[in-house]
Amino acid sequence: MKKLIILIFIFSAGLLSCKKGFLDVNKTPNNPTAVPPIVILPNTTIAIAFANGNDLNRAASVLVQQTAGVANQVAAYDIFNLDGAFDNQWNGEVYGGSLNNLQVLIDQYGATSPAYSGIAKLEKAYIMSLATDLWGDVPYSQAGQGLKFETPRFDKVEDIYQGNTAGGIQSLFDLVKEGMADLDKPSLLLPSTKDDIVYKGDLTKWKRMGNTLLLKFAIQISNKNPVLAKSTIDAVITGNNYINSNTLDFEVPFGSAVGNRNPIFDFNNNLRTGDMMLSSRLYALSKSLNDTLRLSKFFTKPANASNTFTGFDNGSTAAAPALTARSKYNTYLTGAIGGEAPIRLLTFFQVNFILAESALMLNTAGVANTYYQAGITASMQKVGMTAAEITAYFASNPTVVNLTGTMAQMRNQIMTQKYIAWIGNGIEAYNDYRRTGLPVLALPLNAQGDNPNVIPTRLPYTPAELARNPNAPSPRPKTDVKLWWAL
C-alpha cells in the first residue's frame, strides 16, 4: 500500500510540475492561429494577379475579340456559352485565394501594423471591383468573415461602389481612402523587398496605386454618377500623387521556373497550346490604324512567306491553322524566357486614357488630346517600341494620334487606343466596352448562349455558389442583363 501511495504522489507531482507543457501539446506550429504578414502579403498579391490573368481573362479577351477561341472552353466562351464555368475562379481565386487572406491582414494587423492593413485594403478594393464588374451583385460586406457569415449576402453593384450606410456597406472609394490613410500611420511591422513583390516596401508608391484605383473607379461609374466621378478625378489630379510613369505601374512579377510562371504563358504555351490565337478582327483594326508594329509586340508573326500575322475569326467553325502557323501571345505578355512577364493591373497608359476621357466627357482639368497622345506613347514605350519608331508613327498617322470630330468620335478614338493598349488584360477592355460600347464590335459567328444577339454584359453566377448560397440571385440573371454602371 505504501508503494502505491508513493507512486500516486510522484505521478501527481509530475502532472503539476509539467501542467503548462502538458496542456500545450495540442498547439502545432504547422497550424498557427496567426500567420505573419510577411507570409500572407506576397500570396495575396500573386493571387490577385493570377485571378486577373487566368480563365476570367481568357473569357473576357475573346468576348472583346482581342483573341479568338479555337478549341475547348475558350471556343465556348467565344460564342457566349458561359454557363457552368468559373467555379474555380470564384471560389479559389477571387474569394479563397485573395479576399479571405486580405481580410486576415486587415483584421489581425490593422491595429498594430497598419502598413499591411493599408495595402490589404487597396488590394481588397481591386479584387472586389474585379468581381462586381464581372458578375454584378456579389458578396462583399459579409464576405471573408469566416463562420460569421457562412452564406454572405449579395450586395448590389451600386452599393459596392457608392456605399450604403443603412446596409453597413462601405464604398470602394472609402475603402481605398481608408487604406491610404493606414499607410500614413505608425506601424510596428513594415513590408520590405522580401514580401512586397511589387513596390518593395515603398509605401509612397502604394499611395500612388491607391489614387490610381480611385481614377479607375471614378471613370467606371461615370455613366451613373458623373458628379462623384468628376469630384474624385478632380481631387486626384489636384493631389498629383498617382501613377505617372511606366516605372510606377502596379504589375505583379512572375518567374520562368515551373510553378512560378504567369498564367497567360502557362495556358497558351504549356497547358492548352491550341485553344486560342489572335483574332482576325483585332488584326484588321490594327491594320486600319497602321499599327501592326505595336501588334507584333503583343502577338507573334509565324514563319511564312509573307511575314504577316495569322488570325482566326471569332466564332468560326472553319479548320484552324496549324499551331506553327498561328499568331499567339508574344513575349511582352509571356516573357522572353517563358512565364516571367508580369501581369499588368494598373498602368500609366491607363491613367492617361482615363484623364483624356474625363477631360472630354466630364470637363476635368487638362487637355484631352494631350492625355490621349500621352496614353498612346506610354503604351508604345511599354511594349518596347523605340523612340524613333514612336516618333515615326505619330508623324505618319496624324488622323490617328489627334482627336478630331464630334465628342462621340473623339471618345471612340480614346477607347479604341485604350482597347489596344490593354491587350493581355481582357478584363479591363471588357469593362470599358460594356461601359461605353467602344470600340464597336460585331457579333461573333455562330453565337449561342443566353442571348446570341448580344455580346454578354456579365458573367453568369457559378454553379457551386448558386447551389450553396441561398442568398444568390435565383434564377440567375441572364448574361444580357446590363450591370448598374453599363451604358
Give me the helices (H) in 88-198, please. 100-109, 114-135, 157-162, 172-183
Report pLDDT digits (tens) over 385-431: 999 999 999 999 999 999 999 999 999 999 999 999 999 999 999 99
Report pLDDT digits (tens) over 260-315: 999 999 999 999 999 999 999 999 999 999 999 999 999 999 977 677 999 999 99
| Burial class, 269, CB count within 10 angstroms (exposed 0-12 / middle 13-18 / buried 19+) | middle
Q: How confident is the model at residue 16 (pLDDT cuts 50, 70, 90)?
A: very low
Name the residue among 151, 101, 274, 75 with its Cα closest to residue 109.
101
Output b/e per residue, 317-355; b: 16+ Cβ within 10 A: eeebbeeeebbbbbbbbbbeebbbbbbbbbbbbbbbbbb
Q: What are phi and psi of 68, to 5 degrees?
A: -125, 140
The three three-digit cell numbers of residue 57, written as one number: 481573362
Query: What pLDDT sits at residue 31?
Result: 54
For cell 505617372, name the residue.
244
Determine the average pLDDT of the residues in 214-233: 98
Q: Are strands 67-69 and 343-346 parallel, antiparallel or unpaired?
A: unpaired
Report pLDDT digits (tens) over 122-162: 999 999 999 999 999 999 999 999 889 999 999 999 999 99
Report pLDDT digits (tens) over 227-271: 999 999 999 999 999 999 999 999 999 999 999 999 999 999 999
Q: Is the confidence at residue 4, as pLDDT, over 90?
A: no
Query: What pLDDT sits at residue 17?
Result: 40
Neighbours of 366 (CB within 10 A): 15
Q: How confident is the model at residue 32 (pLDDT cuts 50, 70, 90)?
A: low
Domains of the chain (ranges plus CATH)?
A: 37-257+342-468 (1.25.40.390)
Write the DSSP symbol of residue 312: B
Q: How confident is the model at residue 33 (pLDDT cuts 50, 70, 90)?
A: low
Note if the pTM is more than 0.85.
Answer: yes
Report pLDDT digits (tens) over 48-82: 999 999 999 999 999 999 999 999 999 999 999 99
Q: Is the CB of residue 163 less than 8 Å from the CB of residue 171?
A: yes
Beta-ladder partners of 278: 67
Q: Is the CB of residue 78 less than 8 Å from the CB of residue 62?
A: yes
| Secondary structure of residue 26 in the 3-state scheme | helix
* Element (DSSP H or E) covering residue 67: strand 67-69
Q: Average pLDDT of the chain? A: 93
Task: Report how far residue 430's alpha carbon sits from residue 133's, in angstroms, rounded to the nearest whole number.
Answer: 9
Give percent of the chain above pLDDT 70: 93
Query: What pLDDT sits at residue 306?
Result: 74
Query: What pLDDT sits at residue 459?
Result: 98
Q: How confident is the model at residue 14 (pLDDT cuts 50, 70, 90)?
A: very low
| Burial class, 65, CB count within 10 angstroms (exposed 0-12 / middle 13-18 / buried 19+) | buried
Query: What pLDDT sits at residue 30?
Result: 53
Query: What pLDDT sits at residue 305?
Result: 62
Task: Report how far residue 89's alpha carbon sits from residue 367's, in angstroms, rounded to the nearest whole number.
Answer: 40
